[in-house]
Amino acid sequence: MPETKRYAIDPDSLKGCRIRVSFHFKELQRETNPIVRANIAQYLAEATATLALLEAEEARKIAL
């Protein structure tokens, strides 16, 4: 039987996504290898796009 993973903060939540964006941003600032930086930048772009969608969804909830 597969074990369900439990997280302190849901990684798919707005807060979890904000943390992921912050993490990748800080990681990108520290990294010096250009190939690794390119990969981190892609992860950051994906996380930022997801964050934008979650923020817009939250704003719609508040506006109603």
Question: Residue 18 is part of which domain span?
Answer: 14-63
Does residue 5 belong to any structural domain of this protein? no
Mean pLDDT of the chain: 93
In tens, the pLDDT along 7-28 reads 888 888 999 999 999 999 999 9
pLDDT tops 80 at residue 52:
yes
How many domains would you assign to the chain? 1
Q: 60 and 37 in contact (C-beta within 8 Å)?
A: no
What is the structure's pLDDT at 2?
Answer: 63
pTM given for the model: 0.83
pLDDT tops 90 at residue 4:
no
Does residue 1 belong to any structural domain of this protein? no
The whole-angstrom separation of Cα 20 and Cα 29 is 14
Does residue 9 belong to any structural domain of this protein? no
The whole-angstrom separation of Cα 47 and Cα 20 is 7
- The total of other beta-carbon atoms located within 10 Å of residue 24's CB is 19
The whole-angstrom separation of Cα 54 and Cα 24 is 17
Q: 14: number of CA atoms within 13 Å, CB side?
A: 9
pLDDT tops 70 at residue 1:
no
Does residue 52 belong to any structural domain of this protein? yes
